[in-house]
Amino acid sequence: MGSPIDLGKMFGVQVRVDLTVLLVAAIFVVMGVGENPTLRNVLDEATYVVLLFLSIFLHEMGHAAGARLFGISTLNVTLTFFGGYAQLGKQPQRAIEDIVISFAGPATNLAIAGLLYVWLTSATSAGLANHSWGILWQVMYANLFLGLLNLLPGFPLDGGHIARAVLAMFLPLTTARLIVGYIGVAVGFLFIGLDLTGGFGFGLLIGMLLILVASQEIQAARAGRF
Ligand SMILES: [Zn+2]
């Protein structure tokens, strides 16, 4: 995959992009344009893909902002083929830290979706809507999807971190890790199933990745490793 390219710092966080993003972006544009490769469609799809990756970037910056609340620095935010990740200076120690930091990412997407929804509906009723607003509706739905998907309670999704922290208040940590690990595997199979039935492009790739990471977590929990 090579090493990610540094784009400089934003709010004290190093921003990096993996070149695989370009590959995924190109596939998205080709898939989105379909059988109508007019210049306008290509530009529309490219605009959508840029805004989609911007939404993923803001999701990760949401985590970084959540971490800062507890004095935890973020070493970098990196965009890559499966989305993005924020590398924190240290792991959250207390459950409340883990919950707030994990929730801050999806919450950012839900906030963007909410703001876009209010803006677009009021602009539409005022008769201001035009062609390019269709792209913004797509971005609204993408953010809604990103927020809800990441809140599913399976590891390694953000919702899995939240569920693990909550479960660990009542159960031994190993049991909590196993439960969210198994839910992560189930969510992975759900994505693959949705992809195969045509409902969710990229579900196969994301689903396999989830199953892989969740299985590693299950093995680590069983062995008492972190
Ligand atoms: Zn996240």
Indicate the domain borders of the chain.
1-151, 152-220
Whole-number pLDDT of residue 1: 52
Q: Is residue 192 within 8 Å of residue 208, measured between CB atoms? A: yes
Whole-number pLDDT of residue 197: 85
Q: What span, in angstroms and rounded, lies between the C-alpha atoms of 135 and 75?
A: 33
Report how far apart, in Å, the C-alpha atoms of 155 and of each of 63, 72, 94 are.
16, 22, 18
pLDDT (tens place) for every residue of the chain, 226 residues total:
568 888 989 888 899 998 888 888 888 888 888 888 888 888 888 999 999 999 999 999 999 999 999 999 999 999 987 788 899 999 888 999 999 999 999 999 999 999 999 999 988 888 777 777 889 999 999 999 999 999 999 999 999 999 999 999 999 999 999 999 999 999 999 999 988 887 666 788 889 999 999 999 999 999 988 7
Tell me the CA–centroid distance for residue 179 and ligand 1, in Å: 19
pTM exceeds 0.85 for this model: yes
Tell me the CA–centroid distance for residue 118 and ligand 1, in Å: 24
Tell me the CA–centroid distance for residue 182 and ligand 1, in Å: 19
Tell me the CA–centroid distance for residue 59 and ligand 1, in Å: 6
Tell me the CA–centroid distance for residue 123 and ligand 1, in Å: 30
Tell me the CA–centroid distance for residue 149 and ligand 1, in Å: 10
Whole-number pLDDT of residue 105: 97
Tell me the CA–centroid distance for residue 221 and ligand 1, in Å: 21
Whole-number pLDDT of residue 199: 67
Tell me the CA–centroid distance for residue 142 and ligand 1, in Å: 14
Exposed/middle/buried for 179, CB within 10 Å: 0-12, 13-18, 19+?
buried
